[in-house]
Amino acid sequence: MRHPERPPEPGKFTRREFERRVERACRLMTRDKLDGILVTSETNLEYLSGFTTQFAWNTPTRPWYFLLRRNGSGVAVIPEIGVSNWRSTSWVDEILAWPSPRPENEGLDLLSKIVTGTRRRYGRLGVELGAESRLGMPAGDFLRLKRMIRPVQMIDGSAVMRELRLVKSKAEVARIRHICELASDTFDALPGFFNVGDTEKDLVRKFQADILLRGADKTPYTAIGSGRGGYNSIIAGPTDRKIGAGDIFLIDTGSRYAGYFCDFDRNYAIGKVRDPVRRVHDLLYRATDAGIAAARPGNTAADVFAAQARVLVDAGIELGNVGRFGHGLGKNLTEPPSNMPGDDTQLEPGVVLTIEPNAMYGRGKILVHEENIVVTVDGAELLSRRAPREMVIIDA
Amino acid sequence: MRHPERPPEPGKFTRREFERRVERACRLMTRDKLDGILVTSETNLEYLSGFTTQFAWNTPTRPWYFLLRRNGSGVAVIPEIGVSNWRSTSWVDEILAWPSPRPENEGLDLLSKIVTGTRRRYGRLGVELGAESRLGMPAGDFLRLKRMIRPVQMIDGSAVMRELRLVKSKAEVARIRHICELASDTFDALPGFFNVGDTEKDLVRKFQADILLRGADKTPYTAIGSGRGGYNSIIAGPTDRKIGAGDIFLIDTGSRYAGYFCDFDRNYAIGKVRDPVRRVHDLLYRATDAGIAAARPGNTAADVFAAQARVLVDAGIELGNVGRFGHGLGKNLTEPPSNMPGDDTQLEPGVVLTIEPNAMYGRGKILVHEENIVVTVDGAELLSRRAPREMVIIDA
């Protein structure tokens, strides 16, 4: 897979990026009979409004509200402290602000006035209620707002957001590709900065520093598993365990660039790889290939699971306890769909997925591979640099 | 302020740490007539159960539930993928797990059975509803659970969590002190790794890498403001703006160690500091001193505000638009109380605060100072290394 030259600001959004999002959102609102959609979570608020901030999502003191009306106009209801930050990042000019903190009424009066003043065709407001969503406001305020906006009803709007975000634009894919390339570079560099005897914590510190210096904005998720002949957890760590000869370790990173995540892992062995591991590694490599091949328009997320699982099941391998073999990827580290039986999400060009088969072996050991791809008309295109065919061996 | 020698694992929790939390929680539950308290957010769940994970909070796909009963027993209702991670970090042995993802019922059947099976004296379950709280589950599932557990009522339990977390234990203070020391070291080192002509992004990358290599676990929040003769935002950035001669810049970091934050800033000037800035800087320095002096048992958060504001108002300075002059600090970057008029939270030994006066000057410029302190019987003790008396000047 050839990687194109990196532009100075990969995936820079034009005004058109947001126009397209709003046009699609309005069509979906009409389909679902919503007069508007209210978003409060980091990813959905940033997706619709463009507002970019570290501040809002690191402090739960103040909530931030964005209402997109079905006519395509938007209004921010935000704390005064954020107004200049909003103006410099969002396409939305209509801002209502209140002096915050004001715990007895954190913007609810402004917000309910805006909601009830919105042109009412259906009397229904979309809010984040459904699977994999989170509110960015206190639940007590949510219940209060529900009463304040009557007779307007709150309806689950997460289907709209899910559908909007499932298919990524070229610029979004460029951002994900960029962070995947940075992570690929850090994984390639790892044997150079790892020292035998490093603890998991030492190694994760160096890993995180390396990817930040290469250009990642944040590295919120960097898990590690290590152990003699293999590891037994893929979502834990780092611990104070020293990594030494005979060990195998995994690093899995969810790092972020310009609001978009990568999510993939690499495995390393210190000194040698024993035959049973070599076999599982080989099967997972082939399962990954099969998953990548199945990630094409016309197939479903369940098909991507089945293609991976077949390779393992045919070899008599016990599947891991992760519950799925990959998932959607974008503004969240994990987002719909799930590559698992029953998820009939149709793949189409622009869908970004992780391909993530895992297998149990030995006494409670697990091995996992992971790559990131984007579905195109011609099938999957790798965003991560494909892992080496054989597990990377670092001298003991 | 002398800083004690750093132990190998600052603020390591003993079993007693959690016993104390549970004892206090049970007393407060009885006071508030709650049969139990259900927590779903990262900070409250970690606070009560000890469960430590990067995974759960970076992916909204799967919710994680912890119920603490009024008799002091706890039960985890979590996805199967997290069981081994739970066992290796939490004191709680009772675990109910379901195979997740399962969007049609993400643990709700298990959870409602546990809630309705809990010994009922009051018929009231505390949940995270109040100011500055966030649910770690979809709002739709929250509404569904509300119906499923009837006749048990959901009551705001955030007063209990707020009161528990307001006063930090010695181990908690040691963790906050440790991350403050690491950040102080990085701020001291900054003139050595900053190059004139660095963009804000370049500098923030180096800053974040530096603090991670020193031992921080994460640096979720690192804001920067820069400009000729001063900056005009304290919560934005980093941007592609190049920092050069005549600039003043601020870095404000919320970095984390073992689940606890620091939150303070430093100001730097390239080449020179002009007189008007020098004057505001001097006033803010004195306002900070006044805030630190006022942060003692018997005073309120409002008193800490008033002491700082008096210095500025007496000098005819316009206060900034931040809404308060500091706040609580701990497992969240910002937590109660707020140093502002009307916040009558009584300070007592173990309360950790930021002291954060800010002032407007020139045309839309703002300057802010910030330190972190812990209230002791003898008054405030600095956790951050006190900023230099004069703004640090870096050669142009």
pLDDT tens-place string over residues A18-36: 999 999 999 999 999 999 9
Would you say the pTM of this structure is higher than 0.90?
yes
Cβ–Cβ under 8 Å, residues A186 and A214: yes
B-chain residues within 8 Å CB-CB of A81? Answer: 235, 321-323
- The residue in chain B having the minimum alpha-carbon distance to the alpha carbon of residue A88 is B236
B-chain residues within 8 Å CB-CB of A137? Answer: 134
- The residue in chain B having the minimum alpha-carbon distance to the alpha carbon of residue A336 is B61
Q: Is the N-terminal amide bond of B151 cis, ω within 30° of 0?
A: yes
Confidence label for A343 from pLDDT (cuts 50, 70 and 90): very high
Tell me phi and psi for residue A265, to 5 degrees. Answer: -130, 170
- Whole-number average pLDDT of chain A: 95
- Res B6: pLDDT: 47
- The residue in chain A having the minimum alpha-carbon distance to the alpha carbon of residue B328 is A61
**Per-residue pLDDT for B224 more than 90?**
yes
Cβ–Cβ under 8 Å, residues A48 and A21: yes
Q: How far is B212 from chain A (nearest CA, A)?
A: 6
Scan residues 199-228 of B and list those with Cβ closer than 8 Å to A: 205-206, 208-210, 212-213, 215, 218, 220-223
Query: What is the distance between the alpha carbons of residues A314 and A310, in angstroms, rounded to a whole number?
Result: 6
Q: How far is A380 from chain B (nearest CA, A)?
A: 24
Written as six digits, the tokens of A335 are 């987002």
**Chain B within 8 Å of A322 (Cβ-Cβ)?**
yes
Q: How far is B233 from chain A (nearest CA, A)?
A: 7
Cβ–Cβ under 8 Å, residues B372 and B386: no
- Res B5: pLDDT: 46
Which residue among B61, B99, B208 places its CB closest to the CB of A132? B61
Summarize the confidence of residues A264-283 as an average pLDDT: 95
A-chain residues within 8 Å CB-CB of B215? Answer: 205
The CATH number fitting domain B15-166, selected from 3.40.50.740, 3.30.2130.10, 3.40.350.10, 3.30.40.10 = 3.40.350.10
Query: What is the distance between the alpha carbons of residues B76 and B13, in angstroms, rounded to a whole number?
Result: 20
Tell me the CA distances in angstroms from B319 to A34, A103, A338, B310, B322, one per residue in order. 42, 21, 50, 10, 9
- Mutate: best of B212, B219, B239, partner A, most A CBs <10 A: B212
Q: How far is B275 from chain A (nearest CA, A)?
A: 26
Q: Which residues contact A324 (CB under 8 A, 6 or more apart)?
A: A305, A338, A339, A340, A343, A356, B101
Of B171, B142, B166, the residue nearest B154 (C-alpha): B142
- Res A396: pLDDT: 85
**What is the CATH code of the structural domain delimited by A15-164?**
3.40.350.10
**Chain A within 8 Å of B359 (Cβ-Cβ)?**
no
Q: Which residues contact B294 (CB under 8 A, 6 or more apart)?
A: B303, B304, B306, B307, B308
Q: Where in chain B is the domain with CATH 3.40.350.10?
A: 15-166
How many CB atoms sit inside 10 A of residue B8's CB?
6
Summarize the confidence of residues A229-254 as an average pLDDT: 95
Q: Is the N-terminal amide bond of A349 cis, ω within 30° of 0?
A: no
**Per-residue pLDDT for A309 more than 70?**
yes
Scan residues 86-115 of B and list those with Cβ closer than 8 Å to A: 88, 99-101, 103, 106
Question: Could you give the count of Cα atoms lying within 13 Å of B351 in the half-sphere of its Cβ?
Answer: 33
Q: How far is A19 from chain B (nearest CA, A)?
A: 24
Which residue among B55, B133, B233 places its CB closest to the CB of A84? B233
DSSP state of B107: S
- A60 to B233: CB separation less than 8 angstroms, yes or no: no
Tell me the CA distances in angstroms from B198 to A175, A267, A298, B183, B240, one per residue in order. 23, 35, 48, 20, 9
- B138 to A127: CB separation less than 8 angstroms, yes or no: no
B-chain residues within 8 Å CB-CB of A193? Answer: none
- B332 to A59: CB separation less than 8 angstroms, yes or no: yes
Q: Which one has a higher pLDDT value, A396 or A40?
A: A40
Query: What is the distance between the alpha carbons of residues B254 and A171, in angstroms, rounded to a whole number?
Result: 30
At what angle are helices B15-31 and B158-166 packed, to 10 degrees?
A: 140
Which residue among B60, B138, B321 places its CB closest to the CB of A129? B138
Confidence label for A7 from pLDDT (cuts 50, 70 and 90): low
Tell me phi and psi for residue B255, to 5 degrees. Answer: -110, 165
**Chain A within 8 Å of B340 (Cβ-Cβ)?**
yes
- Res A87: pLDDT: 95
Tokens 């370049």, residue located: B202
**Per-residue pLDDT for B209 more than 80?**
yes
Q: Which residues contact A165 (CB under 8 A, 6 or more apart)?
A: A43, A47, A330, A331, A335
DSSP state of B12: P
List, in sequence order, every beta strand (DSSP E) within B21-152.
36-39, 65-69, 74-79, 95-98, 124-127
How many CB atoms sit inside 10 A of residue B203's CB?
23
- B223 to A322: CB separation less than 8 angstroms, yes or no: no
**Per-residue pLDDT for A4 more than 90?**
no
- B59 to A127: CB separation less than 8 angstroms, yes or no: no
Tokens 């675990």, residue located: B95
Which residue among B84, B209, B218 places its CB closest to the CB of A213? B209
Query: Which residues on adjacent β-strands are paired with residue B13?
Result: none
- B60 to A332: CB separation less than 8 angstroms, yes or no: yes
Task: Measure CA B367 to chain center.
Answer: 22
B-chain residues within 8 Å CB-CB of A340? Answer: 101
- A140 to B134: CB separation less than 8 angstroms, yes or no: no
Q: How far is B386 from chain A (nearest CA, A)?
A: 24
Q: Where in chain B is the domain with CATH 3.90.230.10?
A: 170-394
Which residue among B131, B206, B236 places its CB closest to the CB of A85? B236
Fold for A170-394, please state it.
Creatine Amidinohydrolase (3.90.230)
**Per-residue pLDDT for B123 more than 70?**
yes
**Per-residue pLDDT for B217 more than 60?**
yes
**Per-residue pLDDT for A320 more than 80?**
no
Rounded to a whole number, what is the largest CA-CA distance in chain A? 69
Query: What is the distance between the alpha carbons of residues B311 and B369, in angstroms, rounded to a whole number?
Result: 14
**pLDDT tens, A350-393?**
999 999 999 999 988 999 999 999 999 999 999 999 999 999 99
Q: Which residues contact B186 (CB under 8 A, 6 or more apart)?
A: B207, B210, B211, B214, B253
Written as six digits, the tokens of B230 are 């001063």
Q: Where in chain A is the domain with CATH 3.40.350.10?
A: 15-164
- Res B4: pLDDT: 40
- A58 to B221: CB separation less than 8 angstroms, yes or no: yes
Q: How far is A235 from chain B (nearest CA, A)?
A: 6
Query: What is the distance between the alpha carbons of residues A324 and A291, in angstroms, rounded to a whole number?
Result: 12
- Res B3: pLDDT: 37
Q: How far is B330 from chain A (nearest CA, A)?
A: 11
- B134 to A130: CB separation less than 8 angstroms, yes or no: no
Query: What is the distance between the alpha carbons of residues B313 and A346, in angstroms, rounded to a whole number?
Result: 62
- B137 to A136: CB separation less than 8 angstroms, yes or no: no
Scan residues 221-280 of A and list those with Cβ closer than 8 Å to B: 221-223, 232-233, 235-236, 240, 254
Question: Could you give the count of Cα atoms lying within 13 Å of A175 in the half-sphere of its Cβ?
Answer: 18
